[in-house]
Amino acid sequence: MDLTHRLGLFPDCSVTLLLFNRVKNAAALRKKAMEGSIEGALINPAMIVDPFQILVAANKAVHLHKIGKMKTRSLYAEIIFSLSPNNNISDAFKKFGISDGDTAVLIVLVVDREKNVNLEDIASQVEGQQVSLDELPQLTDTAKVKKMYKVTPQEEEISTLLDSIVCRMSTKDVL
Amino acid sequence: GISAPVVYFVDYVTNSIYLEDIVDSITVQDHIYSVQRSGNDSSNLLTLAEKMGELLARMHDEDLIHGDLTTSNILIRPPTEKLDLVLIDFGLSFISGLPEDKGVDLYVLEKAFLSTHPDTEMMFKTLLKTYAATSKKSGPVIKKLDEVRLRGRK
């Protein structure tokens, strides 16, 4: 039901994705996330086209965390920020984090090999149904994603949406 | 709108860039060798030349100069027959609208082409023809290319 991946560059780190639909307590979850009382990055699945997008963001966040150069205050905040194509932190939270009225939530966890994280514990805090990540494409708002990442029609002709997005995420520091 | 490997991650600490690996691709260089060695119908090579001309025209129209155009810096995605090209190795690239820079870019490719691949004059001619037909700014570029050729070296 969930998807766990080891990061190629940080083999001790594994990233787990949990997807929830029909969520009723998005507002409460968002509050918990801001307080830091829930483990994980709470992300709006409408902005995600593929789990790889999350892995790229997580990889960057973990890297910056390890060298002490994060732009935000926590690893999970950094993952959300890494998803954004621009360098405005609050905009990143608004667009990629969850909003009070959301009915779907994607929770991203990053775990070091030694640590043990209780997935049921986190899932139990969500008033909604945990669903398979296969359902992610149905929740993606492609138009919104294209607008956010400013994907041009010329790009779409020769590349996938995921590739366009990943490029923007990984090179935004240079632009 | 130019096909190139996706950038996955930039590490400013080690100054490394992690790029997409285009699995089972072959360079245009290897492809030309293999076609010529097998003695097969080379009209497919002319189609390849057209695709290359088109790709470079689009690149130059965006004012992107590759800087190191050779047949080993252009990959063909599998399946090879589709002639789906990918540009790689932008280590010497820069942005310029100058026909001179674009002309030199093409000249570098021409020299690389003719010195690496014998009997490919027709290929390069076809490449230039398609380039001129595709690029909106090709006139001055071809003119500069001719000038550079006369100068003999750059």
User: How far is Cα B103 from Cα B101, in angstroms, rounded to an integer?
Assistant: 5
pLDDT at residue A1 greater than cutoff 60 = no
Kindly report the CATH class assigned to B23-152.
mainly alpha
Residues of chain A with C-beta less than 8 angstroms from the C-beta of B1: 152, 154-155, 157-158
The rounded mean pLDDT for chain A is: 91
**Phi and psi, residue B136, nearest 5°:** -80, -15
Q: Cβ–Cβ contacts within 10 Å for residue B16, how many?
A: 10
**Radius of gyration (C-alpha) of chain A in whole angstroms:** 15
All domains of chain A, ordered by start, with CATH? 3-172 (3.30.2380.10)
A49-83 per-position pLDDT tens digit: 999 999 999 999 999 999 999 999 999 999 999 99
At B58, list the tokens.
Answer: 């689009």
If you average pLDDT over residues B25-50, what whole number do you get? 88
B103-146 per-position pLDDT tens digit: 999 999 999 999 999 889 999 999 999 999 999 899 999 999 99
Domain boundaries, chain B: 23-152
**Contact A26/A98 with Cβ under 8 angstroms?**
yes
**Contact A83/A57 with Cβ under 8 angstroms?**
yes
Say which residue, A173 or A140, is predicted with more confidence: A140
In this structure, is the dihedral angle defined by the CA atoms of residues B55, B60, B66 and B69, taken in order, positive or negative? positive
Q: How many CB pairs under 8 A join A and B?
A: 35
Does the distance separating the beta carbons of B11 and A152 come in below 8 Å?
no
Interface test with B, best of A70, A71, A167, A172 (most B CBs within 10 A): A167
- pLDDT category at A119 given cuts 50, 70, 90 is confident
Chain A nearest C-alpha distance from B18 (Å): 9
**Options B68, B84, B89, B101, the catalytic residue:** B68
User: How far is Cα B74 from Cα A22, in angstroms, rounded to an integer?
Assistant: 48
What length does chain B have?
A: 154
Residue of A nearest to B7 (CA): A167
Highest-confidence range of A8-12, A26-30, A118-122, by mean pLDDT?
A26-30
If you average pLDDT over residues A131-146, what whole number do you get? 94
- The question of whether B146 is a catalytic residue gets the answer no
Chain A nearest C-alpha distance from B113 (Å): 26
For tokens 């990889």, what's the residue? A59
B43-59 per-position pLDDT tens digit: 789 999 999 999 999 99
Of B1, B2, B9, the CB nearest to A60: B9
B73-100 per-position pLDDT tens digit: 999 999 999 999 999 999 999 999 999 9
